[in-house]
Structure 1
Amino acid sequence: MRPVKGDCSVILKKVSVDRDNTTFECQVPSFNQGGSKYSSSWPRTSVIVMVKPNTPRFKEEPFQSILAGQTTSLVCESLGGNPLPSLEWHLGNKNITASANTTVVEKSKSVISTLNYVFAKENNRASLTCVSVHRLEKQTTKKLLNVTYRPIVSVDRRVFNVLENHNLTIECHVDANPKAPAMWKSDTTTNYKTVDNTLILTEVKGKAMDDKEFQCTAKNVVGGSETVTVVISVSYRPHIAVKTPKVQSVLVGGDVEMICETSGNPKPTITWTFVDYVYNQQHNPSPADPSKLVIHNVSYLDEGDYYCEGENKIGNDINKATSEKMIVSVSGKPQFLSPNEPVIGFKNENTAVEAVFCSDPPPTRVTWMYDSIPQHEIE
């Protein structure tokens, strides 16, 4: 081709990859002074014939078994195109191409990218995109992930409060893929039922159910969940049980013990009441341990009826429970109860000298002494 006015351009018509996708060089011949021919060459020019690659595609098999927490290998392939495209991976809006390895196969004009990634359960139903990046166009293919994981169970709180004789429902939330039902269990003998994932307790009994535990678990083909334990806290009135004989006989100078066992929620306070047989007066002993009243060196003044009382407050209501009567019967040698105080008498007038004592059994005789000398004897 002869240049026209020094224009050495070449026009390529109907370019093809096989023929024109190459490097062109323009050479201009000239002669030196000696008549020798030589050529000088200009910089080479590369011609790239643009061809759009095929839409990238996934190899389907691995998508059926993506397990959370384990490395999964996924493959995306792009065929054709000139130049060959690069491949990118996107998880949602996050570029995760750094976790992929790319192989270029020139013979088949293909690009294969293998993603090695640890998916989390939060990636379930997320969009995974393979992007073919080419000068002509970006092309994508997408897939919704099915990430399987073992169940995770949860409850709204760990302690559930309920009033005695009221109903209670507790839902166990299960997050799992594939789905899994909640399973409730307890070592209590009280009847309970479950509907779907909900535990149902009806007319909850205070003493029987207070502080009882229920466990929730779930299981699917991936595995079993950890166990979540809930505690039932039942608010109920005090209950009192006497744990010592209701009638106790003790000798003068001996010891006696009375025990009251209380239950209730909130925990009841315990008070004691005693009505003596000698003066028929009421007393309120305050032992160090409220559940146990111990009397040392018993006298006849300790003989009488004893009661313990439990009290708690639920809301604005004050609740009380009183025990059965506990009787302390004292026997033994006579014991004087009146204090040893001087008696004032007036000359030529009668003066009464009294002494109060108890004895069980009754004395066979009573003797008054003056200066250790018997003065008067009563049979």
Structure 2
Amino acid sequence: MVLPRRDRILILIACCLAVVSTQVIDYTSPPSITEEPEAYYIVDPRVNAQLKCVARGNPTPTYVWKKNGRDVELTDRVTMTDGTLVIEEPHERLDDGTYQCYANNNYGTALSNKITLRVGNMGRFTPKEVEQNNININSGAKLECNAPSGIPDPKIFWSLKLPKVLTYTNRVNQDPEGNLIFSNVVESDTDTYFCNALAEMLGEMRVSPAFNVSVLTLSPAQQRAPVLLYHPELDVVALRGETLSMKCLADAFPTPTVSWEGLTKPLPEERTTYPSFGQEVLIADVKFEDEGEYRCTASNAIGSPARWSVKVRVEAAPYWAIDHQDETIPPYSDFTMECLAEGIPPPAISWLVNGQTIPNPDTNRRRRVSGNKIHFTNAKADDSDVYQCMASNTHGKIMTSMYLNVLAVPARIEQPPPELTLATESGEVAIHCGVFGSPKPRVTWSFNGQEVSGGRYETLENGTLIIQDVGFNDRGLYKCYARNEFGQQTEFGLLYVKKKTEIQQKPSDEYVKEDENAQFDCSATYDSSMELTIFWERDGERLQTDLPTSRYSTNSEDSLVIRRTQMSDTNDYTCVA
């Protein structure tokens, strides 16, 4: 029987090894805040408040916390460990305020964002007599909660006298202010109602005075078209990245259905949900393109539907438009430090240096503040400082620190090329050369005395030389040359190119009868400094040729031998070197 075969697929695997030398450099650096609390921090008064502040820098920074602009006084109750401020038994009268961490070392001061700390608390309902509500059946009604305030805002819900938590429906629901809305009352609504304010953090709940509801059946209200009892303002501001909630509730009989639609554009389907039986619309992760006009409609087939349109304006707390970086510049140079923040309304930008407001007029004549920029002219070493940029609008404040280092450092090579770099013929190789200096050194490479650039050669920003399509002619000595206006340095490294592994004798198709032996021959050329390994695959899976019971084996010349072939042996076999 003749068994067909298709052309073999050859897979070539080449390896290259690189020897990398490393050197530990101990740099001095100003502080930089790496960990800080959230901008709004609510603490349970039963738990210690912990404001964590972590900064990196060399020398190791020391820390100072300020509250409302003044140093926090450390006591037995208020302590600090490694930058973390701990307040035991926090109390709103003593500890509420705006806190900020200052991290200092010899090279400057870094500031955290301002943190508003509020100690959790819960007010009480105003005492009053039981409120009696006599309501004609089928009429609409509203019970006003007047819930106490709290930090954080309490969760509001209604219950009955049993006690039993009230189950909301499309007929009986709660508005965002906590009031209970009846589109129309039925006889079974006769009961005693309570408004509850739950402070989950504190584990406390306040219960309102009772609301008695008596549904009168003698003079039932007639069927009527919807009239909105609750709706959003005409103009609503939504914040970028947050969730927008809008709700409409109506008085009507029969009970109306409520729906929402976008008038200027469709509601964003993938981010929109409709809880509370469709009476509410939630738009998650608000984006600027969500700005527009929206409308709720309440209808029950009696008369005209009730409609309410809302204009949504999307604004944003300040956020950074770029990643601000530290800068090192040479003496007597001109430089502009820029702070880019976005937000709606546009953020106001203010500058500080080492945590202190830059005076106006500035006592440093080489420095000029202009909006979101600081211009330095003929900069000198004593202009080296940590500068803070603060961006603020009605929705919040953010702060970032940037270190300006006015420094004259001759170009130096801190990570010289490895003594030996190995590459494989036709591959790509990277020869590393780490440099430092101020101004930033220019790095060039030469090979056997000739500068190399362009074409197959590319020098990266970090000084690394990339060589594409490496050949044997690329073997030799490479020189990394770093220089700036204050000095230069040269280091060398050797590149050795190994011959790539290639299949020399390709296996050919075999046609055999069942129960006969089949043999595929394969040989490869390779670099003499490497050890050659040849193995075989069947349909992409490596064959086990060293098992005594297997019909697959390899001989001394790496040929694949299949003993006593069977129909199931019909397949593709691949030689891999």
If the length of structure 2 is used for normalisation, what is the TM-score? 0.25
Higher relative contact order (CA 8 A, sep 6+): 2
